[in-house]
Amino acid sequence: MKVSKHIWITALAVGLCAGVVFAQEEGGPPPPDGQTGGHHRPPPLPIMEALDVNHDGVIDSNEIANASVALKTLDKNGDGRLTQDEYMPARPTGSAGDAPAGHRPPPLPIVVALDINRDGVINANEIANAPAALKTLDKNGDGKLTQDEYMPARPNGPPGDQMEGQPPPPPQDDV
């Protein structure tokens, strides 16, 4: 009888432990802000934050129509033009932004469309022309811009295959 009692107690203890393990949420606690899956998530692009007002990853017809007003909110110094430090996030030290000029990533299609004279500054005329410039990115003519239309394709994936409003993440080395 004693052996049977010990077996039952052991089985009960194992069952309780298993219940505790299976009751835990999958994946554990959420990662700290700005991190996903052990990797740092790039900061949101200010230009996308301003244009995609409802943050759904699509710049719809209303957001396109109001693009000039939205872009003006990025003009930190009130000079009527947007410089790269106003429409793109600041690059952390040691990032690709510190690379030699010949090794910088190409500009985003949305910036290319808005910066008509390609000087890196979105001037007052270009801001005023923003709705028309954005419409040139609408490849399928549906009146809205999806990520595959306003963001570059990932090197190893289909167009627009990146996090919402984010440039493609840098490749990770296997350790």
Overall domain count for the chain: 1
Task: Label residue 151 by pLDDT band (50, 70, 90).
Answer: confident
pLDDT for 80 equals 96
3-56 per-position pLDDT tens digit: 677 677 777 777 666 665 555 555 555 555 544 555 666 778 899 999 999 999
**In the predicted model, what is the mean pLDDT of residues 110-136?**
96
Q: Domain for residue 113, yes or no?
A: yes
- Kindly report whether the global pTM for this prediction surpasses the value 0.75: no
Question: Is residue 102 situated within a structural domain?
Answer: yes
**Euclidean distance between CA atoms 83 and 95, whole angstroms:** 19
**Does any domain span residue 45?**
yes
pLDDT digits (tens, 9 = 90+) for 68-120: 999 999 999 999 999 999 998 776 665 554 555 555 667 889 999 999 999 99
pLDDT of residue 116: 95
User: What is residue 53's DSSP assignment?
Assistant: T
Q: What is the per-residue pLDDT for 142?
A: 96
Q: Is residue 3 part of a domain?
A: no
* Long-range contacts (CB closer than 8 Å, 24 or more residues apart) made by 135-140: 135/64, 137/109, 137/110, 137/113
Whole-number Å distance between alpha carbons of 134 and 59: 9
Segments forming the whole domain that contains residue 61: 41-150
157 lies in some domain: no
Rounded Cα distance, 135 and 165, in Å: 18
Task: Write down the pLDDT at residue 42.
Answer: 72
Q: Is 82 within a domain?
A: yes
Question: Is residue 93 assigned to a domain?
Answer: yes
> Looking at residue 4, what is its pLDDT?
73
Cross-strand pairs, 40: 35
Answer whether residue 131 is part of any domain.
yes
